[in-house]
Amino acid sequence: MGYEPLVQQNPLRVLNMSRENNQMGLVMARAGLGKTALLVQIALDAILRGKRVIHVSIGESIEKTKSWYDDILQVILQEHTVTRPHELIDMVAQHRMIMTFKEAAFNRSRLEERLNDLVLQDIFRPNCLIVDGFDFDKADRSDLEDIKNLLESMNMQAWFSAISHREDERVSPTGVPAPCHEIDDLFDMVVLLKPQSNATIQLDIIRNSGEQVEGGKSMNLDPTTMMVQEG
């Protein structure tokens, strides 16, 4: 596709997201710390590697989600030399579909119905699913197991966002905070976003490929551009 330099220079390469499908990743942070920005960069990385992405936005509009892609693409074009920038923008639009759900309307059956409509009519066949806004506080383990089974049946990789709460001190043995502390084993990759005293946001990778990361690889999120940088 001609975008290999963008893939190779992307700090997110440490997540090994070019591995096989059927993996699930999780991005956790308190509200407003950049979960959507990180998910969009994960989605763009997948697109640049030739995958098709469904971005499920729960409780948000298509326009707001699309604006995240537009803004981050503009930063990428400012920071990297791309011979035909309009071709990159068009390619991203062709390989990404934004799907919205009301907060109370998202579950495995509704997601499966809408995905099957796209696939069976040969409209869009995704390899990667982004789920932003899933309410882990109200969900139980069986809800996530159902979605995981769906992903396996459709041979898809997925990334979720989850909101952690300062006042909730529950945490799993691997370091995953509530409300995901009892289901962290369902995820192959877990990234925590933590604000730092220098105004940056640190990305702590605490699970990668299903294994707890000892010594912790880390990256930062620039609070101005919301772009991932190597720590």
The domain ranges of the chain are 4-230
| Residue linked to tokens 């772009």 | 227
Q: Under 8 Å CB-to-CB from 92, ≥6 apart: which residues?
A: 44, 47, 69, 73
Strand, coil or helix: what is 138?
coil
Q: Are 58 and 130 in contact (CB under 8 A)?
A: no
Asked if residues 204 and 191 have their Cβ atoms less than 8 Å apart, the reply is yes
Write the DSSP assignment of 51-70 as a string of letters.
Answer: --EEEEEESS-HHHHHHHHH
pLDDT category, 151, cuts 50, 70, 90?
very high
pLDDT for the residue numbered 98: 97
Residue 122 in this model has a pLDDT that exceeds 60:
yes
Condensed to tens digits (0 to 9), the pLDDT of residues 70-96 reads: 999 999 888 888 888 899 999 999 999
Tokens 């390619």: give the residue: 91
Fill in the amino acid letter for 103.
E
pLDDT in tens, 29-70: 999 899 999 999 999 999 988 899 999 999 999 999 999 999
Torsion angle of alpha carbons 137, 138, 142, 145, nearest 10°? Answer: -60
Lowest mean pLDDT among 14-28, 134-148, 156-170: 14-28
Task: Indicate whether 190 pLDDT > 90.
Answer: yes
With contact defined as beta carbons under 8 Å apart, do 45 and 15 qualify? Answer: no
For domain 4-230, say whether CATH 3.90.550.10 is its number.
no
